[in-house]
Structure 1
Amino acid sequence: MIIYKQFTFDAAHFSPNVPEGHKCKKLHGHTYQVTIFLEAAVLESDGWVMDFTELKAIVKPLVAQLDHSLLNDIEGLENPTTENLAIWLWQKIYPQLQILKRIELKETPTSGVIYEGK
């Protein structure tokens, strides 16, 4: 069974490694939507894969750290592409939640990444 929970946050960043003149070189922001997918068997005792309250307790502090921040100032996100941000989230969540299956991160309604820890 796969379950998921979505979170949103607003953050600014700039892309330091793009060529001069690229629009992403300048400071700009996004309303990010991150979806956390978990995969495991349904627990017979509870009837679910995981209590969403427990999932929120793990993810919400990370979202709070990112929300209304300059991503470039966060340790490990000096080059905060959407791809690098998805990897950063995986590295923070997976040690606490090894049933993590996938992270989908959108920086706009029409663009984003899917990361499965590989």
Structure 2
Amino acid sequence: MRIFIDFNFEAAHHLPHSFPDGHVNQRLHGHSFRVRVSLQGRPDPKTGLIADLGAVKTTVDSAKDALDHRYLNEIAGLELPTLETIAIWLWRRIAPDLPALAEIGIYRDSCGEGCEYQGEFETLEEAA
């Protein structure tokens, strides 16, 4: 069984090395992002909960504050702020406080794009 909590943030970024010279994404631009944090497990027989969503919200609010209305390229670990890198960054930030963490989804709904990450690796180098 999975439970989840969603949050949104607005941020600016540019992708200097991800596209050919002159590509629009090399210029500063912004997005509305939606994040889904999913936890997986069996409900505790005493509480009926996998996790207290209020406590989960407290954890994710800290991450949201670090991203919302920011220039992502200036955040340590997000110098190359692709969907993939943001997902890894979020996982590393919240996983220590959420032992049932199963997946982080990050979406740009207006573009019809997203990334879903299950914590398979810690860095992009490990993904290669």
TM-score, with length taken from structure 1? 0.96
Tell me which residue corresponds to 2:124.
Answer: none
Tell me which residue corresponds to 1:90.
Answer: 91
| Cα separation, 2, equivalents of 1:14 and 1:47 | 44
CA RMSD between the two structures: 0.9
Tell me which residue corresponds to 2:5.
Answer: 5
| Cα separation, 2, equivalents of 1:72 and 1:104 | 20
| Cα separation, 2, equivalents of 1:54 and 1:44 | 19
Q: How far off is 1:108 after superposition?
A: 3.0
| Cα separation, 1, equivalents of 2:9 and 2:119 | 22
What pairs with 1:23-102 in structure 2 (closer than 5 Å)?
23-102=24-103
Identify unmatched segments of 5+ residues in structure 2. Answer: 121-128
Identify unmatched segments of 5+ residues in structure 1. Answer: none
Structure ranking higher in helix proportion? 2
How many pairs align? 118
TM-score, with length taken from structure 2? 0.89
Runs of 4+ in 1 over 3 A off after TM superposition: none
- Percent identity reads 39
